[in-house]
Amino acid sequence: MGREQKKRSLPLGLIIAASAVGLVLIAYIFFRPHELLAEETTAQKTRLLMDTVVDVRVDAPNAAQLVDEAFKVMEELEQTLSRFVETSEVAQINQQAGTWVQVSPTTIELIATGMRMGELSQGAFDVTIGAVLDLWGFGSDTRQVPVAAELEAALATVDYRQVELDVQNSRVRIPADTILDLGGIAKGYVVQKAAELLRGANVSRAIINAGGDISVIGQRPDGQPWRVGVQDPAEPASLRWILALDDLSVVTSGDYQRYFEQDGERWHHIIDPKSGYPARGLQSVTVVGPDIVVCDAAATAIFVRGWEAGQRLVLELEGIEAILVSGGEEWISPGLQDKIISR
């Protein structure tokens, strides 16, 4: 008898509990906290950072403020990571080459990732390429084809394996004469940190584009994946592919992004550390993946490796997909085919 009573009282308890939850929900719907009622707005700004056009678009109740905060994060990182900012940590490492230099964990983290990408690409990606870039004049206003002997001397300073990291004490040491350059990876890092800030603020959707390093958050207002255009390296003003991206990043390295012409040739800024000359063979590499820092370094590395070795590297690196363009030919990695929605 007692048992039966217990059986009957259980559903009643449930009904009471469910009603209570229902009441709370109804109350919540009608008397939502103020910030939930705040209307979602869209804000967008474009600025020049890291010598690159950076564009941030955010949808959120406080979108304008979040765009400003995202730029603040990126500006601070530029002050830390650009070797062209005299007071930056990377500039300090270069100025004091040969001795240990105290830096922040941010700088250590990025150099470590750069070195790992050096290993994974068997030296195609090399963060110590600075002296060679300087001879070509990338990073200054006077660009020229270097004298062969000078190039050879500069190349002797290029070897990412000589960079010493003392993670415990947050110190870095590079050999005397070596010049550290994080240009092939820093844009991705800066975009990643801005995206982290926006995710932390629960924005519904956002797009950050730093000169072709693009990270998206959420989906378009109509619930469809973001569509990201990839430039045609032969005609950079037009888009050759449209990719549908859900919370993924896309990075493009191309010979049209930074170059000068001399003796009827195009000399661009992605250098093959084996020769000291701009890497030949590809016109552009677009990498898609979840980690924009890896995508950024991988795009540069694949570009250096060229058509065949570049394709092999795409297949070797976990989690990334890519489009390679060489002359009239294009290669699209198998996992990317279904993300290309128009061409």
In the complex, which residue's CB is closest to ligand AMP? 183
Assess 59 for contact with Mg ion (CB under 5 A): no
Q: Is 324 left (phi over 0), alpha (psi -120 to 50) or beta?
A: beta
- Rounded to an integer, what distance in angstroms lies between the CA atom of residue 328 and that of residue 109? 38
Assess 146 for contact with Mg ion (CB under 5 A): no
Locus of tokens 């400003």: 68
Assess 184 for contact with Mg ion (CB under 5 A): yes
Which of 49, 50, 129, 190 is in the footprint of ligand AMP by CB under 6 A? 129
Element (H, E) at 59: strand 52-60
* Identity at 16, one-letter amino acid code: I
Which of 232, 255, 296, 321 is in the footprint of Mg ion by CB under 5 A? 296
Q: Are 85 and 79 in contact (CB under 8 A)?
A: yes
The number of residues that bind ligand AMP (CB under 6 A) is 19
Helix, strand, coil share (%) of the chain residues, nearest 5: 40, 25, 30
Nearer to ligand AMP, 58 or 325 (CB): 325
Locus of tokens 């040969």: 98
| Buried/exposed 54-68: b ≥16 CB within 10 Å, e otherwise | bebbbbbbbbeebbe
Q: How crowded is the C-beta side of 121, counted as CA atoms within 13 Å? A: 31
Which of 74, 296, 298, 302 is in the footprint of ligand AMP by CB under 6 A? 296
304 binds, options Mg ion, ligand AMP, none, Cβ within 5 to 8 A by partner type? ligand AMP
Q: Which of residues 239-268 bind ligand AMP (CB under 6 A)?
A: 253, 257
Assess 146 for contact with ligand AMP (CB under 6 A): no
Nearer to ligand AMP, 183 or 289 (CB): 183
Q: Which of residues 263-292 bind ligand AMP (CB under 6 A)?
A: 269-271, 273
Interior angle at CA 100, CA 137 and CA 172, nearest 5: 65
108 binds, options ligand AMP, Mg ion, none, Cβ within 5 to 8 A by partner type? none
In angstroms, give the least distance from the CB of 114 to ligand AMP. 7
β-partners of residue 41 are 60
> Where along the sequence are the contacts to ligand AMP (CB under 6 A)?
125-127, 129, 133, 138, 181, 183-184, 253, 257, 269-271, 273, 296, 299-300, 304
Site residues, Mg ion (CB under 5 A) = 184, 296, 299-300
